[in-house]
Structure 1
Amino acid sequence: MSGEKRPTTFGELEPSKYPGERLGLPNQGPRSIARVGRRFAALCIDWAIASAVLLPFGLPLGTLWTHVAFGVLQIIFIPTLSGSLGHRIMGLHLVRLGAGGWIGFWKPVVRTLLLMLVVPALVWDSDQRGFHDKVAGTVLIRTRA
């Protein structure tokens, strides 16, 4: 047995060399952590789709209705497509951390409710996972280079 001291708290962990390293994910390419640019583009696409859904109903855009439409679309498409429409267009995929397989229904609901609060999405860890993903036990990864 070596005299090497193992970390016992998060503050004692060595810094990651890249986002996703601690999760066993590659640095680049498919299955790597989705980076900020793609995430932001996916969010803009999803917001535009939510706004477009409201147009035929004559509901005002940029209000609580847009927020609700955004949330409903997230809750519908994350369990069925493993990501929102914006995620899929940008080559992203939402998966359960460590387990793989179907993400289920409740994880997307919890994740979406936290995402709609905005602040949890702005609080990230060193793996670039927002608080909403940490609580839901999910990770947003790339499906293509």
Structure 2
Amino acid sequence: MASSAQPGTGPSEEFRFPGNRLGLPQDGPGSVATWGRRVLALFVDWLIAALIASAVTSKPIWAGGNDFSTAQLVTFFAMTAILTGLVGGTIGHRLCGLRVIPVRGGTTYTSQPGLLAGVIRAVLICLVIPAVVFDRDRRGLHDLAAKTVVVQRQVSGA
């Protein structure tokens, strides 16, 4: 299908890469995080929550059970909400070179998202489905609701 629009003005220019609409770079520090890094960070955080829950419930990780599962979910929620809101990312995010930043009115900031945004993100991540429904900028419903985006962090000393 042919288009009569001028080059650079069509809908394809609006979406050139994830984060383009938010003013983020295509790659490198500040660009939208890849799915692989995000999933790895989630796995690391879930494992840390399991270790803490294991210590609290005095059960090994593989034992499971309702009290262990509840302790793990509560620990994961608290870690995610507090660390994301106050320092811009969880332990898993830090280990994977990621950072959560606020987006307000289409503009991204380098400040921390804030505790309310951290709580919103954590609640929706714990519900799972909002985290797997996402837009063109790789922002899940949890990021859209909290007005945040996960980006690659600048590596210190590089």
- TM-score exceeds 0.5: yes
The residue type paired with residue 126 of structure 1 is R
Task: State the identity as a percent.
Answer: 35
Q: What SS is found at the alignment partner of 2:100?
A: strand
Confirm whether residue 80 of structure 1 aligns to residue 86 of structure 2.
yes
Match of 2:145 among 130, 135, 138: 135
**Count, aligned residues:** 137
Unpaired stretches in structure 1, ≥5 consecutive residues: 5-11
Q: Secondary structure at the match of 1:76?
A: helix
How many Å apart are 1:69 and its aligned residue? 1.0
Shift in Å, 1:76:
1.9
> Aligned residue for 1:26?
25
Aligned to 2:55: 56
**Residue 110 of structure 1 corresponds to which residue in structure 2?**
120
Q: Which has the larger radius of gyration?
A: 2
Letter in 2 for 1:49: I
Structure 2 counterpart SS, 1:63 = helix
> Which TM-score applies when normalising by structure 2?
0.78
Aligned-residue CA RMSD (Å): 2.2
Shift of 1:65: 2.0
Q: What's the TM-score, normalizing by structure 1? A: 0.85
4+ residue runs over 2 A deviation: 12-15, 59-62
Gaps in structure 2 of 5+ consecutive residues: none
Answer with 40-49 or 74-83: which moved more: 74-83
Query: Which stretch shifts more, 131-140 or 72-81?
Result: 72-81
1:7 counterpart residue number: none
Query: Which residue pairs with 1:119 in the alignment?
Result: 129
Aligned with 2:84: secondary structure?
Answer: helix
Q: State the SS of the aligned residue for 1:27.
A: coil
How far apart are the structure 1 equivalents of 2:74 and 2:129? Answer: 17
Amino acid at match of 1:67: L
Deviation at 1:64, TM superposition (A): 2.4
